[in-house]
Amino acid sequence: MSVLVAKQVTKTYGQAGIGVPYQALKGIDLTVNKGEFVGIMGPSGSGKSTLLQILGSIEQATTGDVYIQNQHLDELTDVNRAQFRKSHLGFIFQDFQLLDFLTVEENMHLPLALNQIKHKDSQQKIAKMADILGVREILKHRPHELSGGQKQRVAAARALIHTPAVVLADEPTGNLDSKSAKSLMQALVKLNQQELATIVMVTHDPYTASFCDRVVVIKDGQLFHELYAEKERSRFHQRIVHVMTALGGEHDALSYLG
C-alpha cells in the first residue's frame, strides 16, 4: 500500500522577470509504500533536499502533485498543513534540532503532547521508544549533556514516537562519526522493521544509504537511477558507490550495473 506518492513534481526558484529562474526539480515521480525505507541520493545541488522539503509540506511544488496517505498536500490550508505535519509526519535533521530547554524525555514527549495523547499512553510510548533507541539511561539529561550520536537517537525517537505516516530524514548521519552513524542506522532499521515505520532519508553517504530498502538517485533535478537492496548489504553498498562514482563523471562505471 503506497503511503507517499509524488507525480511529476517540479520546482522552480526565482520569479519570471526577476533574475534567472533556476529549476531545482524537473518532473520527479516517486512512490513509497508503507514500511518502506527509501534513500534519496545525489550530488550537491541535485535537488534532493528540495524534494524532501516538498514531501514534508515545507516547500510547495511549482507543478505536480504530492499525496501522503491520499491527502493532496497542495489542498491543505496553513492551519491544516501544521495539523497534518503534527500527526502524519516526523522529521530528523542533520543538526539534531533538539530543544535545549527540555530534557530528553520532554523532547520525546512534545509530539505526543501536541497530538493530545493521554499521559499513561505517552509514558508507555516514551519507555518503548527509549528502549529501542537505547536512550533510557539519558532520559533526564539535557541535550547539551549528550554526545552527537545520543542526540541524533533522541531526535529519531522524537520523530517516530507519535507513529507518523512518514519519517523524513535529512542527512541524519552527516554530523556523526562512523560508529554512531552505524548505531543510528541500525536503530532506524529496527524501527522500520518492528514498527513498520516508513522512512524517506536524504544522504550523500553510500554506507548510510546501504541500510535502505531502496535508493533513488537524483541528478540535476531528475531521476537518474533506482537501486534495490540485496541480501548482502556490502554488495548493495558497492553498487551504490559505483552509481555515485558514475555520477561524478566516470560514466563507464555504469556498465558494471548491467
Interface with another protein by CB under 8 A: which residues?
Answer: 49-50, 52-53, 56, 58-59, 78-79, 82-87, 89, 91, 93-95, 97-102, 106, 109-111, 113-114, 158, 170-171, 174
Give the nearer residue to another protein in terms of CB position, either 16 or 79: 79
For the bound state, the minimum distance from the C-beta of residue 196 to another protein, rounded and expressed in Å, comes to 21
Closest CB to another protein among 102 and 139?
Answer: 102
Grid coordinates given for 162: 507519535
CA distance 255 to 133: 40
Minimum gap (Å) between residue 226 Cβ and another protein: 23
Q: Which is nearer to another protein, 76 or 223 (CB)?
A: 76
Nearest to 239 by CA among 206, 211, 208, 216: 206
Least distance in angstroms from the C-beta of 199 to another protein: 16
Sheet containing 22-33: give its strands across.
22-33, 2-13, 63-68, 71-72
Residue closer to another protein, measured from CB, 128 or 142: 142
Amino acid at 137: E
Q: 144 or 231, CB closer to another protein?
A: 144
Residue 152 CB, nearest distance to another protein (Å)? 13
Q: How far is the CB of 118 from another protein (least distance, A)?
A: 13
Task: Report the C-alpha gap between 100 and 197 in whole angstroms.
Answer: 27
SS3 track for 43-69:
CCCCCHHHHHHHHCCCCCCCEEEEEEC
